[in-house]
Amino acid sequence: MKNKEIIFLIEESFDGGFEAKAVGYSIFTEGETEDEIRKNILEAVRCHFDEADMPSFINIRFLREEQIAL
C-alpha cells in the first residue's frame, strides 16, 4: 500500500544552512539553502523507499524560532 504523504520538519542549523528530518521515518538530510534542502529531501526519499512504497507527496514544514524583546 502506497503512503500518501511524508512530512519533513526543517530547522535552521547552528552551523548555518538547514537540517531536515522525516516524521515517523529514519530519514535525515541537510542543505545550505532552502532550494538545496528541498532537493536533498527528494533524493533522500527516493533512496529510502522502493517504487511501490513511494509517497505521493512530500510536505515540508519550516520551523523557525524567533525572540521578541519586551
Question: Tell me: the pLDDT tens digits for 5-61?
Answer: 999 999 999 899 999 999 999 999 999 999 999 999 999 999 999 988 899 999 999
State residue 39's pLDDT score.
98
Q: How far apart are CA 18 and CA 36, in angstroms?
A: 9
Tell me the pLDDT band of 1, cut-offs 50, 70 and 90.
very low
What is the pTM assigned to this prediction?
0.86
Q: Number of C-alpha atoms within 13 angstroms, CB side, residue 6? A: 23
Q: How confident is the model at residue 66 (pLDDT cuts 50, 70, 90)?
A: confident
Using only C-alpha atoms, the chain has a radius of gyration, in whole angstroms, of: 14
- Is residue 13 within 8 Å of 27, Cβ to Cβ? no
